[in-house]
Amino acid sequence: MTTAAEERELLLNPVVPENVLHNTKTVTDIRSLTGSLFGVAAGILGLESYWGFIFYLVGSCVVSAFMVALNTGGRPERYFRGKSEIWTTEVVSGSSMAGFILTWTLFFGLLRV
């Protein structure tokens, strides 16, 4: 697709910034809550080093699948640009990962050491 055609497409189906912001905020909220809970789970299970991060990634994938199925009704492309955005938003960077590490460390320290 050329640039001109892309611009034309954007004019015909405009992207409303408020809606994009709201959708991203919803995903961020879910991710930060589940990220912290995954940290609690990983700490209780006593996962260490790579296993903890693998656990987090797998859990995030499961949460993404739930979001696709429940929040978007199986059609994420209606709410996000492209199908993959809902799977990657806020997974690695952002507050979700930091919350995971915080609660993971806390519960690991409380229970295991």
Residues that bind other proteins (CB under 8 A): 8, 11-12, 25, 29, 32-33, 35-36, 42-43, 47-49, 52-53, 95-96, 98-106, 108-110, 112-113
Q: Which is nearer to other proteins, 43 or 76 (CB)?
A: 43
Which residue from 5, 27, 7 is spatially nearest to 15, judged by alpha carbons?
Answer: 7
Q: Which is nearer to other proteins, 79 or 108 (CB)?
A: 108
Q: Which is nearer to other proteins, 79 or 104 (CB)?
A: 104
CB of 84 to other proteins, least distance (A): 24
> What distance in Å separates the CA atoms of residue 56 and residue 63, rounded to the nearest whole number?
10
Asked if residue 87 lies in contact with residue 31, where contact means CB atoms within 8 angstroms, the answer is no
107 contact partners, CB below 8 Å, separation of at least 6: 39, 40, 42, 43, 44
